Amino acid sequence: MNNLAHILSEIKKIVGENYVFTDQETLNNYGHDETEDLTFPPHIVVKPANTFEIAEIIKLANEFKIPTTPIGGKTGLSGGALSVYGGIALSTERLNKIIDIDEKNVQVITEPAVITQILREAVADKGLFYPVDPSSLGSCFIGGNIAENSGGARAVKYGVTKDYVLNLEVVLPNGEIIWTGANTLKNATGYNLTQLMVGSEGTLGIVTKIVLKLLPKVNHNILMLVPFYKAEQACEAVSEIFKAGITPSALEFMERDAIDWSLRYVEGISVAVKPNHQAHLLIEVDGNYLGILMQEAEKIVSVVEQFEIDEVLFADTEDQKNALWKMRRGVAEAVKANSVYKEEDTVVPRYELPKLLKGIKQIGEKYGFKSVCYGHAGDGNLHVNIIKANLSEEQWQKEVPKGIREIFELTVSLKGTLSGEHGIGWVQKNYMDIAFSKTHLELMEGIKRIFDPNNILNPGKIFPDEDI
Amino acid sequence: MNNLAHILSEIKKIVGENYVFTDQETLNNYGHDETEDLTFPPHIVVKPANTFEIAEIIKLANEFKIPTTPIGGKTGLSGGALSVYGGIALSTERLNKIIDIDEKNVQVITEPAVITQILREAVADKGLFYPVDPSSLGSCFIGGNIAENSGGARAVKYGVTKDYVLNLEVVLPNGEIIWTGANTLKNATGYNLTQLMVGSEGTLGIVTKIVLKLLPKVNHNILMLVPFYKAEQACEAVSEIFKAGITPSALEFMERDAIDWSLRYVEGISVAVKPNHQAHLLIEVDGNYLGILMQEAEKIVSVVEQFEIDEVLFADTEDQKNALWKMRRGVAEAVKANSVYKEEDTVVPRYELPKLLKGIKQIGEKYGFKSVCYGHAGDGNLHVNIIKANLSEEQWQKEVPKGIREIFELTVSLKGTLSGEHGIGWVQKNYMDIAFSKTHLELMEGIKRIFDPNNILNPGKIFPDEDI
């Protein structure tokens, strides 16, 4: 980076000495998120206090054409927050206040660095409900959820992040500040820049304030764990549950290895997994009337009983529910602890799930890799963890990407796409041609140029290498 | 239009002689929708049979830079389908098939010219539910609903059109065809062109196939009509109902004149409106358990009873329900039959509704016009019908627009915006500066240029006159 000394001194003028970092430890720390084993240290880490400081930093970055990558909770799984071209890592962490829980309009206005779980708990204290709960909810930031259009376990009934975002304050790549929309449930006023911003992975602007719609609190739920003797049958059961007229509030799939590894990794949980259990479905229904939930749970049992299953486990206490969720949410970290891996975030219409799972296993056999699959089956969203284990470096670098390409081709042929909730970021960008034609990618790139003609904001993401 | 003869002959080659029209009656017929008293006859009306014919027409239009305006059910209220610069009116009416009701994935794939009500009934026959029901549902096209991001009475509980659109086949302004996304409930793969297309009023592409998510059918509802002695109290009651933890499936507001005019205009309905009723709320709850709905209805009654109301009317039969809805849906046409008028589609966070109504009346007094207000109060979406009645042409053309500007300024100051569900189209475009800064409008215009560099597709819409 040229002019480093000058830029550093200008940035210090904006945010103060104490919030600019160039020591190697900090650079390394802000050079990674939860994506595989990747680290891209930036040249500078800056921690602005508010929208205006961010705007000033961005103006400077735009003037000197410095790559600038917003970084939040560092829980991303596609490398969206990595400073792949160095430059400035702009941490939003000091913008961490819930500005207003607006009970009168059933909305919340928040800064981006509020941890999703803290936001959920704060609105729950007022009798309100923010349903989106990515597995990393205890550490991810709501701003990152917007950048990646995060989903999670409750999306099957309640939708994903984009379904709750009403309005965003955004610092544009030229340093100007706009609100993308209005604080209204309906809006037919010009192009929907709010929805364009959601899922744009920090490439079009830096989100500095967020208006989310909320729901009334839901009081009850029932949680059950269903062991299947055949993994594909677990996938088949998924669309049958919906066919019976039930919309579960969560419908999660775990392959054998996923549950095994998580049980070993996460403390304080015991589930009697038998040797012949190939997969489990974790199923939750929620609502305000326990009697109705019990009817729904019985209906679900009668659906899954049509498949080859072992005894259904019902969580009797809050502790048991928490333990089952801890096990489910622990899968990702358990996989990470077990082996170097690559995670793909495939998504298909839910009825196609058995075909997807079967195809992934066949592709794995062809290229000689093992995969551990789990995810949000109710959404057709299957996380495919490809395990390095004993593969040679050459197999890992050359053969596995061919297999991943085939997995994505299968996904798209089933009317699905590359990512359900993790984003494209750095690690999937060279597969974009599978989902999109050249014309289509050019439209997206054209939008990027309109917002960010100097390509300073989170460069190197989303678009294939040859394209930008 | 230059080259008219040549272009006509080329278009006839594409679609056949029988589907190209230049007679004055047809041109006039396709020169208007339901917007005020406006008519802009195109030079040519063309009725292609399918996506490929549309692509060929668009390529021709792009080559010869002919303004081309897609037109559907002609029920629009912002002039979005009017050929304001002449050229080609491209009617989608022959693309009127429901392609597949996909029960396995709880989705429907349809062409754009299916009437919304027909789509709703077709999926209901399979036990499924498409909730979006604009007041014009008996004649509007689902494609038009996407163009304008239509809402309607059930949006308060179920959301608007955008919340159901998963994927769109679109003919771009250069004649190329893309699918904007995937047929999945979750998607974090590149910029969300699906959501960018929804509500873009036919300015970015022509939608030729639509994938919508559906819900399981809902079996019961309860409908009640509540007469208020004070209109502002009716507005105040709206957010109190939500505060009580109820999410009604419809929550409609009608000012005195709206209900009076509709009762006179729509046949076969009698409601005992008393002289001192200033406004009514029409409130529906729905669900699968009648007992619970009755509890919710009682809760609603206990909320509205805290205001000055007359006796609540419950619809006892399906016929009574239909009659009340016919009355509500008839307001727009009743207003139209009563006087020349301008309709504004204001939307605010719902708690701000009383302030909005009061402000509108004050602005009306200042500029000497009368307004009839009604709409989807649960969404904060208030339709303001400004009545010409005995105003002079000069007052109508010069003074009323100043008042409208003040109404929109008020709306935006309350964190609302110009249009909740009708779109900006032709009639509101010169108010866009109230909602958006120059920078913001330039971003939207930049997107338009990326998609449509020759500005052939539905030119003269959304953007202020001085801007494009």
One domain for residues B16 and B69:
yes
| Residue A390 distance to chain B (closest CA, Å) | 31
Residues A105, A197 within the same domain: yes
Name chain A contacts of B174, Cβ cutoff 8 Å: 439
The SS3 call for residue B417 is strand
Phi-psi region of A49 (alpha: psi -120 to 50; beta: other; left: phi over 0): alpha
User: How far is B418 from B439, CA to CA, in rounded Å?
Assistant: 18
* pLDDT at residue A17 tops 50: yes
User: Would A431 be classed as within a structural domain?
Assistant: no
Regarding whether B277 and B323 lie in a shared domain, the answer is yes
Choose among A178, A186, A381: nearest Cβ to B186. Answer: A381
What pLDDT score was predicted for residue A267? Answer: 83
The domain of B419 spans 339-431
pLDDT at A218: 95
* Whether B188 and A163 lie within 8 Å, measured CB to CB: no
Q: Which of B287, B310, B332 is the last residue of a domain?
A: B332
Among residues B328, B321, B380, the alpha carbon closest in space to that of B354 is found at B380
The answer to whether A418 touches A435, Cβ cutoff 8 Å, is yes
Residue B452 lies in a domain: no
DSSP H helical segments within A266-381, as ranges? 290-304, 318-329, 331-338, 353-367
Q: Count, in order, helices (H) and strands (E) of chain B.
A: 17, 18
User: Is B227 in the same domain as B278?
Assistant: yes
A105 in the same domain as A65: no
Are residues B325 and B262 in contact, defined by beta-carbon separation less than 8 angstroms?
no
B103 in the same domain as B193? yes
Among B43, B69, B91, residue at a domain's last position: B91
The average pLDDT across B12-30 equals 98
Tell me, yes or no, whether A60 and A107 share the same domain. Answer: no
* CATH code of residue B265: 3.30.70.2190
Distance CA(B450)–CA(B453), nearest Å, equals: 6
What is the rounded end-to-end Cα distance, in angstroms, of chain B?
20
ipTM: 0.96
In-domain check, residue A457: no
Tell me the per-residue pLDDT of B320-371, one tens digit each, with 9 for 90 and over: 999 999 999 999 889 888 888 999 999 999 999 999 999 999 999 999 999 9
Say if residue B57 is in the same domain as residue B142. no
Residue B437 with chain A: CB contacts under 8 Å: 176, 178
Q: Residue A416: which of B102, B182, B191 has the nearest Cβ?
A: B182
Beta carbons of B450 and A450 less than 8 Å apart: yes
Using the 3D structure, point to which of B46, B64, B91 is the last residue of a domain. B91
Confidence of residue A326 (pLDDT cuts 50, 70, 90): very high
A116 occurs within a structural domain: yes
- What is the spatial distance between Cα A182 and Cα A166, in angstroms, rounded to a whole number? 7
Name the strands in the sheet holding B20-21, side by side, starting at the edge strand that comes first in the sequence. B20-21, B44-46, B88-91, B68-71
| Strand pairing report for A88-91 and A68-71 | parallel
Residues B265, B321, single domain; the answer is: yes
Minimal Cβ distance to A184: which of B159, B416, B439 = B416
Of A102, A192, A437, nearest to B198 by CB-CB distance is A192
Q: Do A185 and B103 touch (CB under 8 A)?
A: no
| A278 located within any domain | yes
Q: Is residue A194 part of a domain?
A: yes
Give exposure, A306-329, as e/b (b: 16+ Cβ within 10 Å): ebebeebbebeeeebbebbbebbb
Examine the domain organization and report whether A76 and A106 are in the same domain: no
pLDDT tens readout for residues A340-355: 899 999 999 999 999 9
Lowest mean pLDDT among A329-338, A395-404, A438-447: A329-338
Any idea which residue has 């539905």 for tokens?
A: B458
The pLDDT assigned to A1 comes to 64
Residues B272, B194 within the same domain: no
Buried/exposed B1-31: b ≥16 CB within 10 Å, e otherwise: eeeeeebbebbeebbeeebbbeeeebbebbb
On the question of pLDDT at A256 being above 80, the answer is yes
pLDDT (0 to 100) of residue A2: 66
3-state secondary structure of A100: strand
- The residue among B189, B217, B412 with the most chain A CBs within 10 A of its CB, best to mutate, is B189
Q: Which member of B162, B289, B443 has the closest CB to residue A450?
A: B443
- Chain B positions touching A159 (Cβ under 8 A) are 163
Q: Is A44 helix (H, G, I), strand (E, B) or coil?
A: strand
Contact residues, chain B, for A294 at CB < 8 Å: none
Partners of B247 on chain A (C-beta within 8 Å) are 215-216
Which of B314, B278, B319 lies closest to B296, judged by CA? B314
Q: Does the pLDDT at position A467 exceed 60?
A: no
CA distance B240 to B319: 29
- Judged against a pLDDT cut of 80, whether residue A468 lies above it is answered with no
CA-nearest residue of chain B to A244? B216
pLDDT at A463 over 80: yes
Q: What CATH code is carried by the domain that includes residue B189?
A: 3.30.465.10
Please check whether residue A377 lies inside any domain of the structure. Answer: yes
State the CATH number of the domain containing residue A76: 3.30.43.10
Who contacts A79 (Cβ-Cβ below 8 Å, separation ≥6)? A33, A35, A36, A38, A425, A426, A427, A461
Angle at B163 between CA A107 and CA A348, to 5 degrees: 120
Mutate to test the interface with A, among B180, B418, B443 (most CBs of A within 10 A): B443
pLDDT digits (tens, 9 = 90+) for B365-417: 999 999 999 999 999 999 999 999 899 999 999 999 999 999 999 999 999 99
What residues contact A323, with CB distance under 8 A and at least 6 apart?
A268, A269, A315
Mean pLDDT of chain A: 96
One domain for residues B197 and B265: no
Q: Do A185 and B380 touch (CB under 8 A)?
A: yes
Number of structural domains found in chain B: 4
Q: Report CB contact under 8 Å: B172, A439.
A: yes
Residues of chain A contacting B432 with CB distance shorter than 8 Å: 189-190
The radius of gyration of chain A from alpha carbons, rounded to an integer in Å, stands at 22
Q: How many C-beta neighbours within 10 Å does residue A272 have?
A: 9
- The C-alpha atoms of residue B166 and residue A416 are separated, in whole angstroms, by 11
Provide the number of CB pairs (under 8 Å) joining chain A to chain B: 267
Bridge-based pairing state of the strands B370-376 and A220-228: unpaired
**A178 contacts in chain B (CB < 8 Å):** 436-437, 439-440, 443
Which residues have C-beta within 8 Å of that of residue A246, sequence separation ≥ 6? A285, A296, A299, A300, A303, B216
List helix spans (H) across A174-289. 193-197, 231-243, 256-265
Give one DSSP letter per residue of B200-253, joined into a string.
STTSS-EEEEEEEE-EE---EEEEEEEEESSHHHHHHHHHHHHHTT---SEEEE
Confidence of residue B268 (pLDDT cuts 50, 70, 90): confident
Check residue A214 and give left, alpha or beta (phi > 0: left; psi -120 to 50: alpha): beta
User: What whole-number distance in Å separates Cα of residue B10 and Cα of residue A21?
Assistant: 65
Does A155 reside within a domain?
A: yes
Q: What is the CATH number of the domain that holds A372?
A: 3.30.70.2740
pLDDT tens-place string over residues A132-187: 999 999 999 999 999 999 999 999 999 999 999 999 999 999 999 999 999 999 99
Give the residue carrying structure tokens 């029960």.
B103
